Structure 1
């Protein structure tokens, strides 16, 4: 049996099963029709009809409870029910003339509508149950002529009968489409819920792994008897923390994409250097896996361009990471091409090509779906959230490009990132010697002691003195009596948050009224950044904070502050 025939048979059996549950209701309806129309059809005819029709319902209710009929028997059952039902109405015009004909037409209309409403799942069931009613309606003009109707009256009755049949079919189609759409929506919702549940379970597992490693590494590092063992445990802690940050970054990026809050920035950067750094990062990983790492077309790239280097690097890292995960032997190729376009723009094509197992068309179709991976074994074997490719495609499209995949089983896979970038101007080299400066005073304001200790560890040696406060109120008291070069401000704190604290600092005269304030935030939403700048903050750093990002932000705000002071002087 073909898949379509099997589906039709399954749908037909669903209609039959639903009809069985309505058998007693149909028997009760038959009794009401017998009592209501018996005087028109004749009581003897009505009682005989009731016995036959009720017997059919009893057969359907009791016999079909024990066994499922074959499709041909189910169709025959539906046809027989409709034929018997229509026969009852036929006695109306035979016994009571034109009035009986009206009653017959009304009953046939009811039968047609019932066929449409009880057979939405199966076209075969609808045709089997409605066709007898359609034939009865087709006979109404003939019966009308037999009763003495004029030809034009018979034509009008025929037109009305045809409209009834057509409208009934339209009603069935609309109901069937609505039922199909509802079923598909329910299936998609259930699949999405199942995928999200599996995703949450997987993320819980993925987070437990680095947390366990951090706890174990911390215990071992504390009791280590040699510097080598301590360094090894510290490296374990650092690697686990980076793993957790990757997971959290994926979750945050996905939530921002779903909320429509993800954004990209345009800045000048060295494209060739970005590619070189990416290759330098992943080449050792490929060598450890006994894979060749090839670079093609680097000479065609322009140097300085305008775009979002962070997001381009993120997409590339995702693609190369996946390629290395799924390629056991052979090579990974990063192919680059740039085609000049008018108005100082060019089309950038970056391809990541692997020699892995490849994918089917079905797998490619679900490749960029959120909360999913090609199989459960992928998460168990390689880890990860399964969000990387979905996030990468969304980022590519936010940057005005796209990300597509091309593959076949046994032939590896090619992921193609296409972007349109503008040519940029080289920036003047920045002074990155903050770590060598001394005498800088910093106030760290955060309600979590762990964060205050972490920021202190990052800054100690480069900044002195370092003062901490756990909320905005305590910070204002410190800022009123002691000058600082930089203030690191958390946003969400008890008693007084970072935004209110900054407003109060800028509004009141004091030694730190113009001191640069850097926001420490877990959100990169443009709206929240704008609010931070509007209240008087000078920059922001995303949590979890990395040393290079924090030092870079401090250096930028200090340079800007010195330039402002010099301009005023």
Structure 2
């Protein structure tokens, strides 16, 4: 698509404005040319030309200081400069023959090159500035014939003139493209910086909200006069903690995606059960907002498939959360379509449709980009970082599928998750006979005192004895002296980290060589899990730790067989 007229004029004016800053340089160049070529052209003509060209530069300098010329005047200004500049050495052939002609050609080549390098921003400016030099070069063969050159010599000069004109245009094109690419790269970098700055400010706001609630809840709980008031404040603290964890999970997922370290797993899972649990979770939320929550096509789903149930649930939760958030009246529909493929897999389509306000084409264009939301008012009204849809689409594509959207203002929005999942068999359930755990001794290893106190609060009343250590070396010293039933081990600690400590523990005979160890990690990616298991740990729990998840992991390593514990 050709540039708009306004853009062409704007680019031309940028070149004209830049010329004013170069006026002194051009005046100095004119003096140098007068001194260098004066003996060839004749001093009288050289001084006349210097006065004419210098006066033109002075007029241009003071004129551009007061007003911006119209387009026709700007083009005329550039052409006049070219005509006057190129005319200087035209007297050379008249006074000094062939040598004077060579000097004129050199001057014209320099003028052509200068027009290409000073007009990169505008094609109009380049054509206006270089046209006089092209006309002068076209007369060179005829001047040579007038001086007595032979026809083949004139033809050679004509070919050289054409090459000079063509090469000058090529130089201008290359310089203009480089300038355009640089400008676009700078604009993209500035836009990315602005978006990330806005994102950082948004994250700061999103973190301050739950932190303020936690501080307020803690202060109120300390002075609460009734058990009900204290419980209410404690629930506020817990809700704020879950809000912060969700935010940190999004940031961690985004960093993994950008670093190319995000992975998905493939395990057998009950798709129908996953959908049922999702519906049970979100149906009360819909009712609380006065919305209808519809379910369509559940009968078409296969029972057991192979894929990543955690990531499927994450995408669905994000889509349903957004649909309920942005729908004031009407309904949210979860539509499920499944069809068997020829290769034995299932083509699954999960659609979340709402009756909300819908989106414009501009909003749709930035819907799946990171560091952004549909508008600033979205962040102010509904909160959030705007990462959910970007992460969801990346997860869908990592699983071999895709996430798409369709919407129009006033017509609601529909998000469609398409996945290809292999059929799977239900795993054989091995009954596990639970045994009561009494008199448990647990060692908590973490370099942060707040974490040690938090885990102690969680475990109080559930275990008999709790000991703590602040790094891997201190933990090994304690484990060499006392027998423990379980170790909760942080991974990143000063002096000695958890992986190194567990490696030494498993390799050294002692009372706790085979004691189960649960890793406490801020990242439960596939690589981190493999490192934990390879070091000899039995399970892992992701920080921030929820009590239910911690107790589930403890039950897994204490009650199940080693094979089950290793993947808990």
State if a TM-score over 0.5 links the two structures: yes
The alpha-carbon deviation at position 511 of structure 1 amounts to 1.6
CA distance in 2, matches of 1:508, 1:527: 25
CA distance in 2, matches of 1:352, 1:435: 43
Q: Is the 8 A contact 1:434 1:462 kept in 2?
A: no
1:120-177 deviations in whole A, cap 9, x for unaligned? 1111111110111111111212222222222222222111111111111111111111
TM-score by length of 1: 0.95
1:194-243 deviations in whole A, cap 9, x for unaligned? 11111111111111111111111122222222222222212211111111
Q: Is the 8 A contact 1:434 1:551 kept in 2?
A: no
Q: What residue number does 1:341 align with?
A: 341
The alpha-carbon deviation at position 434 of structure 1 amounts to 6.5
CA distance in 1, matches of 2:272, 2:244: 30
Q: What residue number does 1:73 align with?
A: 73
Specify whether residues 436 and 94 from structure 1 end up closer, same or farther in structure 2 by C-alpha distance, changes over 3 A only.
Answer: farther
Specify whether residues 547 and 433 from structure 1 end up closer, same or farther in structure 2 by C-alpha distance, changes over 3 A only.
Answer: farther
The alpha-carbon deviation at position 527 of structure 1 amounts to 3.3
Q: Does 1:12 align with 2:12?
A: yes
Which shows bigger deviation, 69-78 or 346-355?
Answer: 346-355
Specify whether residues 320 and 434 from structure 1 end up closer, same or farther in structure 2 by C-alpha distance, changes over 3 A only.
Answer: farther
Q: What residue number does 1:282 align with?
A: 282
Give matches, 1:36-115, under 5 Å.
36-115=36-115
The secondary structure found in structure 2 opposite 1:63 is helix
Which shows bigger deviation, 505-514 or 531-540?
Answer: 531-540
The secondary structure found in structure 1 opposite 2:65 is coil
Give matches, 1:111-510, under 5 Å.
111-429=111-429, 437-510=437-510
Q: Is the 8 A contact 1:254 1:391 kept in 2?
A: yes
Specify whether residues 432 and 110 from structure 1 end up closer, same or farther in structure 2 by C-alpha distance, changes over 3 A only.
Answer: farther
Specify whether residues 255 and 563 from structure 1 end up closer, same or farther in structure 2 by C-alpha distance, changes over 3 A only.
Answer: closer
TM-score by length of 2: 0.95
Q: Is the 8 A contact 1:516 1:561 kept in 2?
A: no
Specify whether residues 493 and 400 from structure 1 end up closer, same or farther in structure 2 by C-alpha distance, changes over 3 A only.
Answer: same
CA distance in 1, matches of 2:433, 2:451: 25
Matched residue count: 564
Q: CA RMSD in A?
A: 2.1
The alpha-carbon deviation at position 494 of structure 1 amounts to 2.9
The alpha-carbon deviation at position 84 of structure 1 amounts to 0.7
Q: Is the 8 A contact 1:271 1:302 kept in 2?
A: yes
The secondary structure found in structure 2 opposite 1:68 is coil
Q: Is the 8 A contact 2:115 2:126 kept in 1?
A: yes
The secondary structure found in structure 2 opposite 1:175 is helix
Which shows bigger deviation, 111-120 or 350-359?
Answer: 350-359
CA distance in 2, matches of 1:379, 1:270: 36
Q: Is the 8 A contact 2:434 2:559 kept in 1?
A: no
The alpha-carbon deviation at position 561 of structure 1 amounts to 4.8
Which shows bigger deviation, 7-16 or 138-147?
Answer: 138-147
1:430-449 deviations in whole A, cap 9, x for unaligned? 76886964344322211222
CA distance in 2, matches of 1:99, 1:249: 78
Q: Is the 8 A contact 1:435 1:462 kept in 2?
A: no
**Structure 2: gaps (5+ residues):** none
**Structure 1: gaps (5+ residues):** none
The secondary structure found in structure 2 opposite 1:64 is helix
Q: Is the 8 A contact 2:448 2:470 kept in 1?
A: yes
The alpha-carbon deviation at position 429 of structure 1 amounts to 4.4
